[in-house]
Amino acid sequence: MGNLIEIRDIRRDFPLGSEIVKVLKGIDLDIDKGEYIAIMGPSGSGKSTLMNLLGCLDTPTSGSYILNGRDVSQMLDDELADVRNTEIGFVFQTFNLLPRTTALDNVALPMVYAGKSKSVRHARAAEVLKDVGLADRMDHKPNQLSGGQRQRVAVGRALVNKPSIILADEPTGNLDSKTGVEIMALFDEIHAAGNTVILVTHEEEIADYAHRVIRLRDGIIESDERTK
């Protein structure tokens, strides 16, 4: 399929008073198009820092990150914002929806930043909401939706710009187990449709959905195994 992500010797240090805390200590990682990956590790292992780097929310202290043929490790903030909006769809544990905005407009939001017209935005957002099973909830605001429905809106928003990667951080963390299973079934569908899916989770039963599990410990990759 070809590499979508190539990471070489990525390090991330954070100053803490007069100390330097080394969080990532030389990560090498290749991810192909169409993979379904879970990144796991205990608290403090560096998995959130790695997710922020993969998602272009942060830049490494040193090392290179090639995403879809572009070296994003050297980019400036506005270039990174463009990459985030076009290449990466984010799904967060806390949904991060605009409270006074309909499901349709929440999903369409990334297309506003991409400069698409209102008619194009609404047509695409409606199509995506249908795909995630919310065709009958387009005009509802988040407080009129269940937790699972809110997460479906968030997944729709992640998909709307047809990104290379869906990056999900503890996507079932705020959901009951039954709803969590429904959301993970949705990720299975997204992956089957050809998307690259990267989950960050501390739950083994969520990682079981992925086809490859990468475990971090103390800022390095402890294991990397294909499970399916």
Q: What is the predicted pLDDT for the residue at 115?
A: 85
Structural domain count of the chain: 1
Q: Quick check: is 158 in a domain?
A: yes
Q: What is the mean pLDDT of residues 155-175?
A: 92
The CA distance from 186 to 134, in Å, is 12
- Mean pLDDT value across residues 153-168: 93
Residue 122: band (very low, low, confident or very high) from pLDDT cuts 50, 70, 90: very high
What does the block give as tokens for 68?
A: 């879809």
pLDDT of residue 22 exceeding 90: yes
**Structural domain includes residue 199:** yes
- Cβ atoms of 68 and 4 within 8 Å: the answer is yes
Q: Compute φ and ψ for 81, nearest 5 degrees.
A: -60, -40
Q: What is the pLDDT of residues 187-222, one digit of tens each?
A: 999 999 999 999 999 889 999 999 999 999 999 999
Output the pTM of the full model: 0.91
- The CATH number for 122's domain is 3.40.50.300
Q: Which of 227, 206, 191 is nearest to 34 (CA)?
A: 191
Task: Provide the domain limits for residue 217.
Answer: 35-63+77-226
- pLDDT tens sequence across 59-118: 999 999 999 999 998 888 889 988 988 899 999 888 889 999 999 999 999 888 888 899
Is 52 a domain residue?
Answer: yes
Is residue 69 a part of any domain in this protein?
A: no
Q: What is the structure's pLDDT at 2?
A: 65
Question: Are 39 and 198 in contact, with CB atoms under 8 Å apart?
Answer: yes
**Among the listed residues 95, 98, 87, 27, the one whose alpha carbon sits nearest the alpha carbon of residue 60:** 27
